[in-house]
Structure 1
Amino acid sequence: MGKVLKERKDIDQSLTWDLSAIYATDEKFQSAVKEMKELALKMEKDYKGKLNAAGKINECLDELRKLYQFRDLTGSYVELLVAVDYANNENQDKYSKITNIISDIDSRLSFIKSEIIQGHDEILEAAINMSKENSNYLKDIKREKAHALHPEAERVLAALSGALEAPYQVYEQAKHADMDFKSFTVNGIEYPLGYALFENEYEYENDTKVRRAAFKAFSDKLREYQYTTAAAYQVQVQKEKNMATLRGFDSVIDSLLFPQKVDSKLYNRQIDLITEKLALHMRKYAKLLKKVHKLDEMTFADLKIAVDPEYDPNVTIEQSKKYIEGALAVLGDDYLEMVKKAYNERWIDFAQNKGKSTGGFCASPYGSHSFILLSWSEKMAEVFTLAHELGHAGHFKLCNESQNIFDVNVSTYFVEAPSTMNELLMANYLLKINEDKRFRRWVLSSMIGHTYYHNFITHLLEAAYQREVYRIIDEGGSVQASTLSKIKKEVLEKFWGEDVKIIDGAELTWMRQPHYYMGLYSYTYSAGLTIATEVSKRILKEGQRAIDDWRAVLRAGSTKTPVELAQMAGVDITTDKPLFDTIEHIGSIIDEIVKLTEEIEA
């Protein structure tokens, strides 16, 4: 079980992504950086102190769109270089330099927003009416007017933007570069351990002794870093509190929901209803796992195991193409073409190597195609993850083709809907190609154990924890490692009740997610999956009409609010109904898994 992770330099190139699609050579990258700096200086010279007419404002914003594209491509390029090997000092150096350059540019050009905000309302209205390309950007500036600071304060904050990202950088370095996991031993056999090995393999390990020993060894290593991680997180949340207060928001949560364009009612509903209503269904699922695996007790370390571990076929990268292409073909020929290119043109980093970022993500820099990071483990769960990340890629392909760079900044409330939708399309496709009972149970349990567990439970319980942290911060308190562990443990105990033992180490789950450094992101997974569940049911029922509506939503980018985007897809998220329906849907899948298990064992 498990394997020793290779150094990045020893990885087969075919398993890595090809970043030359952004910049073919280092010279081209350096040339783009130079051009970006020159454009910023020219804009400062041409427009500073002169944005007092609608025509001039739009002329400046036309240039700003070009600059944003440079910033997106250069910034993404260095982030992607670092993500696959946090121990590579040369790439870390590149990343730091670009961060500083972008901070300087943002500081120099902060006058643009400030001058537009301070100008007369009629000039702003005239500028909005004059340019379709810039109108949404200008409407957002108008919306931000109430929370804008003095121009000099905005300039200083922009200059410090790189430094203000430090908590996240400290977290990532501690996690990927410093944590050195030693191997652990079970029954005289030595097993290697690493972050990705634990999260991608040992959590799903069928051998209970090995699985629980891996959990203990992993947790022991996390515990050694709890004070550093808590200190970084305390700085992060205190920074967010200070920014919220400076900008006149009543709470951190209000300030973080503001850019998402949703209110606290939608935010609180996701957390409260799922914690209350979904818990009973998931406890039933936990009891089934305990029974099937004949466990002495059901612990937190056992929640990711398969209902039918003998029926969890290994899937090679080559085999995954058949599943992915078959499932996503319904979204259109151009979408399928993109999927094929993702494989053939090395958009995907499949490798498992030392120092690589864990989990999966998709970066979609404007002006290039997407890049997907995975750690391929040959499990079906990884096929679902790839379908998920291709959902982001497909979303931003359609969105970037249809919108300019100002209009592709999709609200995080909605951004996980296209990705989770693809996981549901994958499940629906698999159920169609094989009617065997055991296969059906395996697919349904993959949906619960992966798609819904990950997005509706893991991330949702993070969100419940995060909300408590912000309540403490809003009341003038601070959070230490012991506080964070206590909150996390209480959240887990409330959800799982008597049915799952929250063992030592479970409380350290707060240390495992980068999402806490990205505002209110964790709760948006369940929000996106609620929309996706309802739309996927529509696709099964209505076919092409529902798919056409969905593609129109993907193309809309950030030109609509999350409520409007959901409405375009036929879902009304201003009511509780979609969430209640989704929870009921999850419950019915679990009931069917229980029933199929009884039939198979009979």
Structure 2
Amino acid sequence: MAKTQELPLRNEVPEALTWDLTTVYASDEAFESDFSDVKAGAEKFAKLSGTIANNAAALLKATDDLMALSRKLEKVYVYAQLKNDQDTSVDRYQAMYSRSEALAAQFGAATSWFEPELLKISDSKMQEFYQAEPKLTAYQRFFDQTFERRQHILENNVEAVLAGAGDIFSSGEKTFGILDNTDLSFPSVTDENGNQVKLSQGVYSILLESTNPAVRKEAFQKLYQVYRQFQHTLAATLTTNVKNHNFKANVRHYNSALEAALSENEVPTAVYDNLIQGVNRHLDLLHRYVALRKRILGLDELHMYDMYTSLVGKKSPKYTFEQSKAIALEALQVMGPDYVKHVHEAFDGRWIDVVENQFKRSGGYSSGTYDTNPFILLNWKDNLDNLYTLIHETGHSMHSYYSHHNQPYQYGDYSIFVAEIASTTNENILTDYLLNKFKDDDEMKKFILNYYLDGFKGTVFRQTQFAEFEQFIHEQDAKGQPLTASFMDQAYRDLNAKYYGDAVISDDEISLEWARIPHFYYNFYVYQYATGFAAASTLADGIVNGGQENVDRYLTYLKSGSSDTPTNVMKKAGVDMTQPDYLEKAFIIFEERLNEFEALYEK
């Protein structure tokens, strides 16, 4: 009997393939010292309540103290999170992360008085303060962002209660995370070589790329068998999360949870609505692509587990991590020497945690703080998808690097809305690079076009499908509809059928997909993958085919942080995201490449 392949334990992973968290804290003891400082500082800050309207000096002191404490808290929190994510089974780091979440809630409660008291300062008095203490002008946009939310910020005591309950409000998300990453036990399945392999999120994605339909089907069915066993628990965790969003939106006098979430990033809800409407207008392109997939694969029945296998009759080309770094560096040469220099730092300086180990958090992300280098979490597999993930997360990390090094702390972070643009611009640059590199190789062109079309399907169509479902369940809960597992199963299956059309069977299992998507816990985050990809199409085209001016404008965007509204930052980069034009441009590119792929297939 073939031996089941197991993931390595954390201590079995070569050090060179792990991130170096000593650049954050040299030891856990150093973390504990800052942890204590934040706790004491928060208690001290709370005593400043009632002082900031007295004079300009008092406002400056409180704001300086708030920024210093926030800065240290972020470092504490991120260190704990990264330590926990690298191995979620370690009690010590589970506890460290839990304590850091509790500290963040305590900090929120201790500082919750600041915004309500700031709002009591009139515009005329603020002008007097700026005259009396010019150093306050460094915080003017920070203050103005608060003044713009006047009607949504509550009295001190209410803000304190809400902030103090932050740990409770996040219980649904935390429970889902523990279940999904640690407690759910997945069975073994047979890969295409006859080996028994234990399912994980990373292994599952590889098996769905298999050219063997039986392998894809078994992986699909066995994965969802596990989620079906826990669907009622997972419905409860997701419901808790939705009710949290709706409750806060109602208490803060927003019209909807969507409006509340988008207002945090100064994004009008029209951007969200334009996306869903625009994608729905172009579902015929997705239906056409799905029908082409069925035709090329030669299947009598196309199933949802057939949506990820290559259409060129072979598995993904193998790209090791080292090969992928070299390709990414080549593709990114168009960004100029300074950008490439910092990518080298990321690749050579152990900013990346590369391989999947037992109990490691699934997926991939870029993280870090103002005072640390960015970090990238991967769960590496040798395929094209992971090459794209590497360059995607590198885009995030370079955005953070430039923002942190060109803005003061208060503007050093950037809106989530613009974050996905940096990552997906890198993806589009890589696509252009690969298509050009293999322009005389029809087989490789087929593969790259197939990957691009699948990527567009997954990023624009699929993420908008998620966004539409997320909006639906929030609206249904607001109307009093219980979000039972069966209700969400049916709603999700109907939505899936609308998006993918008649050429594919919406299998029973796909109705459970909502149960395993972590982004449904991120408060209307996922739509930004789609808007980001569409905007990135325009930006990447300008960088690759335009002059130095386009690169300079793009780097200006990366350096801008939150020094202006997200839509204004993007206008400076050359894309007006308040209008639907950028979406239409993205669909034009998709259709052109779909035409090209069809022509190669017919040829």
Q: TM-score, normalised by structure 2?
A: 0.95
Determine whether 1:425 maps to 2:426: no
Report the counterpart of residue 578 of structure 1 in structure 2.
582
Offset at residue 329 of structure 1 (A): 2.0
Give, in whole Å, the separation in 1 of the partners of 2:266 and 2:248.
18
Residues 1:199 and 1:140: Cα distance change in structure 2 (over 3 Å): farther
Report the counterpart of residue 329 of structure 1 in structure 2.
333
C-alpha contact 2:294 2:503 (8 A) present in aligned 1: no
Residues 1:128 and 1:509: Cα distance change in structure 2 (over 3 Å): farther
Aligned amino acid, residue 512 of structure 1: R
Aligned amino acid, residue 115 of structure 1: E
- 1:34 is paired with a residue whose SS is helix
Q: Select 1:348's aligned residue among 308, 333, 352.
A: 352
User: Which range moves more in the overlay, 482-491 or 381-390?
Assistant: 482-491
Report the counterpart of residue 164 of structure 1 in structure 2.
169
Determine whether 1:275 maps to 2:280: yes
Offset at residue 511 of structure 1 (A): 1.5
Give, in whole Å, the separation in 1 of the partners of 2:396 and 2:35.
27
Deviation string 1:102-129 (CA, Å, 9 cap, x unpaired) is 2212211212222112333333344567
Report the counterpart of residue 459 of structure 1 in structure 2.
463
Deviation string 1:121-169 (CA, Å, 9 cap, x unpaired) is 3333445674232112101110121111110011111111122111110
C-alpha contact 2:309 2:315 (8 A) present in aligned 1: no
- 1:416 is paired with a residue whose SS is helix
Deviation string 1:186-242 (CA, Å, 9 cap, x unpaired) is 899453233323443112111111111110000111111111111011111111111
1:76-115 equivalences in 2 (<5 Å): 76-115=78-117
- 1:378 is paired with a residue whose SS is coil
C-alpha contact 2:497 2:506 (8 A) present in aligned 1: yes
1:562-601 equivalences in 2 (<5 Å): 562-599=566-603
1:28-39 equivalences in 2 (<5 Å): 28-39=30-41
Deviation string 1:358-402 (CA, Å, 9 cap, x unpaired) is 221111311101111111110011000110000100111111111
Give, in whole Å, the separation in 1 of the partners of 2:193 and 2:351.
41
Aligned amino acid, residue 172 of structure 2: P
Q: Select 2:323's aligned residue among 319, 323, 326.
A: 319
C-alpha contact 1:193 1:214 (8 A) present in aligned 2: no
Offset at residue 457 of structure 1 (A): 2.3
C-alpha contact 1:198 1:218 (8 A) present in aligned 2: no
1:81-230 equivalences in 2 (<5 Å): 81-127=83-129, 130=134, 131-185=136-190, 189=194, 191-230=196-235
Offset at residue 448 of structure 1 (A): 1.6
Residues 1:586 and 1:128: Cα distance change in structure 2 (over 3 Å): farther
Q: Select 2:541's aligned residue among 530, 534, 537.
A: 537
Offset at residue 566 of structure 1 (A): 2.0
- 1:442 is paired with a residue whose SS is helix
How many residue pairs get aligned? The number is 596
Q: Select 1:287's aligned residue among 276, 287, 291.
A: 291
Q: Select 2:21's aligned residue among 14, 19, 22.
A: 19
Q: Select 2:411's aligned residue among 403, 407, 414.
A: 407
- 2:433 is paired with a residue whose SS is helix
Report the counterpart of residue 246 of structure 2 in structure 1.
241
Residues 1:469 and 1:433: Cα distance change in structure 2 (over 3 Å): same
Give, in whole Å, the separation in 2 of the partners of 1:540 and 1:564.
23
Residues 1:254 and 1:377: Cα distance change in structure 2 (over 3 Å): same
Give, in whole Å, the separation in 1 of the partners of 2:395 and 2:403.
12
Offset at residue 260 of structure 1 (A): 2.1
Give, in whole Å, the separation in 2 of the partners of 1:134 and 1:152.
25
Give, in whole Å, the separation in 1 of the partners of 2:563 and 2:345.
28
Residues 1:248 and 1:316: Cα distance change in structure 2 (over 3 Å): same
Give, in whole Å, the separation in 2 of the partners of 1:127 and 1:404.
21
C-alpha contact 1:74 1:98 (8 A) present in aligned 2: yes
Determine whether 1:263 maps to 2:268: yes
Give, in whole Å, the separation in 2 of the partners of 1:310 and 1:519.
38
- 1:515 is paired with a residue whose SS is helix
Deviation string 1:482-539 (CA, Å, 9 cap, x unpaired) is 1111121111101111111111211111122221221111111111111111111222
Offset at residue 41 of structure 1 (A): 3.1
C-alpha contact 2:356 2:379 (8 A) present in aligned 1: yes
Determine whether 1:506 maps to 2:510: yes
Give, in whole Å, the separation in 1 of the partners of 2:144 and 2:452.
40
C-alpha contact 1:227 1:481 (8 A) present in aligned 2: yes
Give, in whole Å, the separation in 2 of the partners of 1:126 and 1:500.
65
Deviation string 1:20-57 (CA, Å, 9 cap, x unpaired) is 11111112111111222233233334x22211123321
Give, in whole Å, the separation in 2 of the partners of 1:312 and 1:202.
11
Give, in whole Å, the separation in 2 of the partners of 1:62 and 1:394.
27
Q: TM-score, normalised by structure 1?
A: 0.95
C-alpha contact 1:553 1:565 (8 A) present in aligned 2: yes
- 1:362 is paired with a residue whose SS is strand
Offset at residue 415 of structure 1 (A): 1.6
Determine whether 1:72 maps to 2:74: yes
- 1:102 is paired with a residue whose SS is helix
Aligned amino acid, residue 256 of structure 2: S
C-alpha contact 2:557 2:569 (8 A) present in aligned 1: yes
Offset at residue 285 of structure 1 (A): 2.2
Give, in whole Å, the separation in 2 of the partners of 1:160 and 1:594.
55
- 2:360 is paired with a residue whose SS is coil
Offset at residue 414 of structure 1 (A): 1.9
Report the counterpart of residue 550 of structure 1 in structure 2.
554
- 1:87 is paired with a residue whose SS is coil
Q: Percent identity over the alignment?
A: 25
Offset at residue 292 of structure 1 (A): 2.6
Give, in whole Å, the separation in 1 of the partners of 2:182 and 2:413.
31
Deviation string 1:75-124 (CA, Å, 9 cap, x unpaired) is 01111111122221111011111222222122112122221123333333
Offset at residue 178 of structure 1 (A): 0.9
Give, in whole Å, the separation in 2 of the partners of 1:126 and 1:158.
31
Report the counterpart of residue 49 of structure 1 in structure 2.
50
- 1:306 is paired with a residue whose SS is coil
Give, in whole Å, the separation in 2 of the partners of 1:499 and 1:457.
16
Offset at residue 302 of structure 1 (A): 0.7
C-alpha contact 1:124 1:138 (8 A) present in aligned 2: no
Offset at residue 357 of structure 1 (A): 1.6
User: Which range moves more in the overlay, 386-395 or 532-541?
Assistant: 532-541
Give, in whole Å, the separation in 2 of the partners of 1:568 and 1:193.
48
**Cα RMSD (Å):** 1.9
C-alpha contact 1:315 1:380 (8 A) present in aligned 2: yes
